[in-house]
Amino acid sequence: MNGQKILVTGGCGFIGSQFVKMQLERDESAQIINLDLLTYAGDPSNLGTWADSPRYTFVHGDIRDPACVDALVPGVDWVVHFAAESHVDRSTGTRAGEFVETNVLGTFVLLDAVKRLNPDAHFLQIGTDEVYGDVAAPGFPDESSRLEPSSPYSASKAGADQLALAFAITHGLDVRVSRCTNNYGAFQHPEKLIPLFITNALDGLALPLYDGGTQIRDWLRVSDHCHALRTIMEKGQAGEIYNVGANQDPERTNREITQMILDATGAPQSLIEDRQGLRPGHDQRYAVSSQKLRQLGWSPELDIESGIEETVRWYTDHRSWWEARKDESYRAYYAEHYGKSDP
Ligand code: NAD
Ligand code: TDX
């Protein structure tokens, strides 16, 4: 496993940047090529000083561009594919087509290049638990459960998973699919629930809690997700799907997560603003069985209470990082989605 050459896509985003840093740190002979378009969600500074490593190469390009992808795929041992449009709320408006183009077509372009130019390479498709849709309690879908995505985002991710698995069956590629629950931690864009609420709480701004805040997500720290990906690379098998979940017990509602953020920031209850209708098709509960991966020796290291406290500390200490992301285009998105201009 050590000393491998890995083409990472989307390595300037939240999870991809954590994976690249971890891989370079843990394996002194690893080489990483990072292909990233640098959309609003990607920033090379997320790599910190690792961007200067002689074992790291950044390529500014688009996974939908076959010429760009064809130049990078030959000679790599792995393609680890994070690049995506990742925010559910952005997929329910006028930009849904970008989710199909990036998440489905982009994944196809990568698979097709591997098939033609480097069929012995391994391909890790980074998927999401959202493909199983709204899961009635106390259910825990396993890897063979039916896909019932609710949003254009999760439908596009299901399409990408299915394409990847089809390339394994039809063309014999070593494809593995991970399906992880909600991630949180340092460097997450403030459009997502936990960083949005932390940063708004730090600034005394409203926390727009959707639909009563009764929804359940199985929050997992980003580093635990990246360790899971390494386990799948090292111990997983070709053609297999691996769910990745914290399996929190008890499960936490969005309102409980919000309360943890208020407690950790010292912000008042009065900041909670109940909002309705901002997420059409809002799934009530996500949950997965992660037994298959746990049998390979993986388990999460951090519980959600300590994780929220750690994450609040990070955002408190890195104000300039998240203020830079609440820029003019973010304000425009915020005004359009939330109907107010305060980010
Ligand atoms: P992110 O939005 O933070 O980062 C996405 C990255 O992809 C950015 O760096 C962006 O510039 C890049 N990108 C977008 N379109 C591109 C294109 N056409 N070509 C090249 N690069 C492009 O996303 P994230 O939260 O880090 O998620 C990474 C992956 O993990 C996604 O595939 C997502 O579906 C999946 N996932 C995320 C979570 C989560 O909670 N965030 C949970 C499970 C799975
Ligand atoms: O302002 C908000 N208010 C609110 O109540 C936002 C942004 C979200 N929410 C709710 C909606 C969800 O029930 O919080 C929950 C979490 O929302 P997000 O942070 O947007 O995450 P989610 O939609 O669950 O999807 C995330 O996890 C799975 C990632 O964005 C996906 O990329 C990943 O696949």
Alpha-carbon span 13 to 214, nearest angstrom: 29
Q: By the 8 A CB rule, do 12 and 47 touch?
A: yes
CA 294 remoteness from chain centre: 20
Q: Calculate the alpha carbon distances from 110 to 9, 20, 44 in Å.
A: 10, 19, 21
pLDDT of residue 302: 87
Is residue 340 scored above 90 in pLDDT? no
State the average pLDDT for the chain: 97
Beta pairing class for 241-244 and 122-128: unpaired
Whether 333 sits among the annotated catalytic residues: the reply is no
For residues 301, 305, 309 and 312, what is the CA-based torsion angle, rounded to 10 degrees?
Answer: 100
CA of 267 to the centre of ligand 1 (A): 30
Bond preceding residue 250 cis, omega within 30 of 0: yes
pLDDT of residue 200: 98
User: What percent of the chain is modeled with pLDDT above 70?
Assistant: 99
| Residue pLDDT, tens place only, 31-45 | 999 999 999 999 999
pLDDT of residue 2: 80
| Residue pLDDT, tens place only, 221-241 | 999 999 999 999 999 999 999
Which run of H or of E encompasses 168?
Answer: helix 152-171
Is residue 342 scored above 90 in pLDDT? no
Please give the CATH number for the structural domain made up of 5-184+219-244: 3.40.50.720
Cα dihedral across residues 169, 174, 180, 184: positive or negative: negative
Q: By the 8 A CB rule, do 147 and 200 touch?
A: no
Ligand with smallest separation from the Cα of 131 = 2
Residue listed under structure tokens 């912000």: 267
pLDDT of residue 207: 98
**In three state form, how does the secondary structure of 170-205 look?**
HHCCEEEEEEECCEECCCCCCCCHHHHHHHHHHCCC
pLDDT of residue 343: 66
Which run of H or of E encompasses 9?
Answer: strand 5-9
Q: 83: how many CB neighbours lie within 10 A of its CB?
A: 28
Pick the catalytic residue from 56, 132, 153, 315.
Answer: 153
Amino acid at 126: I
pLDDT of residue 187: 98
pLDDT of residue 12: 98
- Atom 1 in ligand 2: residue holding the nearest Cα: 208
Please report, for the chain, the start and end positions of each structural domain, with discontinuous segments joined by +.
5-184+219-244
pLDDT of residue 125: 99
Across the strands, what pairs with 8? 34, 80
Burial 89-99 (b: 16+ CB within 10 A, else e): bbbbeeebeeb
Is residue 65 scored above 80 in pLDDT? yes
**Ligand 1 pocket by Cβ (under 6 Å):** 9-10, 12-16, 35-39, 41-42, 62-64, 82-84, 86, 102, 106, 126, 128, 157, 180, 182-183, 189
| Residue pLDDT, tens place only, 287-300 | 999 999 999 999 99
Whether 234 sits among the annotated catalytic residues: the reply is no
| Residue pLDDT, tens place only, 124-182 | 999 999 999 999 999 999 999 999 999 999 999 999 999 999 999 999 999 999 999 99
